[in-house]
Structure 1
């Protein structure tokens, strides 16, 4: 085993995992892609590799594109039941986070919208917006021309901008206050206040606790408020489904404020909030067990704050 080759790869592992997560929207799939890249690195004629970082980036990007194009992935994602895998604040896969574009690229809202792009458009967008690669290098990575890279980037931004406004983003402290007010209204039955805290074009997307065959989507402030009010109303059936009576913590998931439902130190569901111009523009609810694996691994190493809802 070439220790120098292993050390060189390990120096790039975190960045490769972050790239693969943005491309695939799944931490588990990203880890598989990183491992496949590692095996190819060990089998490569490394004496002929001038720039290991560029070589590794190219390999993992193409592995991710192949995975996105695979029949299994197409079926899973076009069947309507796919949502990104959420990650807790502090997870290294969420890095880098120095710029607004880098932070936004891992929000559940953007990862969901990236599904509307072709695999190559998605790769160009991620490499450009999240990792600041120049188009000349993106062209080398994807085996396309620089002009084609620019065209893909323009189309991707146009598509995402048409479906997601970027102005009026709230700072973390303001967003948390709005979410706290929202939770207070949801648990008190103040539906009118719930409606007032939502934007006119609000959307709510849920995996139906993993029981629905397709993702559930709600639009209009009244429908979203009704959905949220029902979701935060405890019933014996919900407690049986969750496996007990959860407590609810406020936290940050995928760089967004979130409510985290926990039973016996185990996360059973999360809701993230996209806060804009002092109101909530989008909610994403995920409770399917297979999407919460890495989130729970991170949570066990996390010291949570006092729950916002202690009895449910």
Structure 2
């Protein structure tokens, strides 16, 4: 094995974590893969000589690439909020490769990723690296061209916004699944009161069906009516349980093919947010498990 092969093998050891960092920065699996690939190209050009901590060096490179991508994205946007839902990470029955397991481990829920979209690029980077991956501020500071104290302030501002807009979801997949199953059963039976018991009064529903703005509904009663109407229109659909960003979710199938991914945020035993991705083009690009069997 030559030096290039050894370097490639060492890089592959870090790939799952690097993709996790990039995904949480960008909310896009394809862009995360691009950022990781760029890190590999830079490493291949420079070599490993003089790099004392390869994992740290690669994390810094990926973070800087992501920061540039976020800044470019922000400069193109006229409507920075809710232009799209983040890409969901969807697993079935715990079966996944190392990259999927790394993405799902300590997963960031879709609702939190939506809130991260509202942060400035520097705030998002500081929050993700410190609060989600535990990097110290003296390592974050040079990436955002700030002092450690200023980097700490970026993360602090981001944390306040996140706490106000994305409450901590309930832990425990079994309890989450009970709530999702109750939601599905009530929608299927047309039982409005049963449906309202599992919806938080201030619940938000975000639906991304393709080009154009994300459709947002607020309020349990309004969303309950929409849920029952949707079920009546989609009687031939089949909902399969799935893990969506590490939480209990559903994949909607028609003739065995995924037509929508539903991610639930459950707080206090009720559904606080429901994020639905039904954009056919984006679904086709996701690495979705086979739910047809």
TM-score of the two chains, using structure 2 as the length reference: 0.89
CA distance in 1, matches of 2:22, 2:190: 42
For residue 27 of structure 2, what is the aligned residue in structure 1? 25
CA distance in 2, matches of 1:96, 1:31: 12
Q: How many residues align?
A: 286
Runs of 4+ in structure 1 displaced over 4 angstroms?
none
For residue 219 of structure 2, what is the aligned residue in structure 1? 220
Structure 1 residue 61: Cα displacement? 0.6
For residue 272 of structure 2, what is the aligned residue in structure 1? 281
Q: CA RMSD in A?
A: 2.4
For residue 83 of structure 1, what is the aligned residue in structure 2? 85
For residue 55 of structure 1, what is the aligned residue in structure 2? 57
CA shift digits 1:154-209 (9 cap, x unpaired): 1111011111222x7142111111111111110111112212221121111001x2
Q: Which moved more, 1:174-183 or 1:79-88?
A: 79-88
Q: Which runs of 5+ in 2 are unaligned?
A: none
1:95 aligns with 2:99: no
CA distance in 2, matches of 1:57, 1:68: 16
Q: Secondary structure at the match of 2:7?
A: helix
CA shift digits 1:273-302 (9 cap, x unpaired): 11111111110011112322454x3413x6
Structure 1 residue 144: Cα displacement? 2.5
- Change in 2 beyond 3 A, CA 1:79/1:283: closer
- Change in 2 beyond 3 A, CA 1:57/1:51: same
Q: Which runs of 5+ in 1 are unaligned?
A: 240-244, 305-312
Structure 1 residue 271: Cα displacement? 1.2
For residue 190 of structure 1, what is the aligned residue in structure 2? 191
Structure 1 residue 96: Cα displacement? 6.3
For residue 257 of structure 2, what is the aligned residue in structure 1? 266
The answer (yes or no) to whether the contact 1:54–1:141 under 8 Å persists in 2 is: no
CA distance in 1, matches of 2:180, 2:121: 34
CA distance in 1, matches of 2:56, 2:145: 13
1:193-208 matches, within 5 Å, as 193-207=194-208
The answer (yes or no) to whether the contact 1:260–1:269 under 8 Å persists in 2 is: yes
CA distance in 1, matches of 2:256, 2:78: 30
Q: Which moved more, 1:139-148 or 1:180-189?
A: 139-148
The answer (yes or no) to whether the contact 1:275–1:282 under 8 Å persists in 2 is: yes
The answer (yes or no) to whether the contact 2:74–2:80 under 8 Å persists in 1 is: no
TM-score of the two chains, using structure 1 as the length reference: 0.84
CA distance in 1, matches of 2:171, 2:269: 7
CA distance in 2, matches of 1:108, 1:88: 11
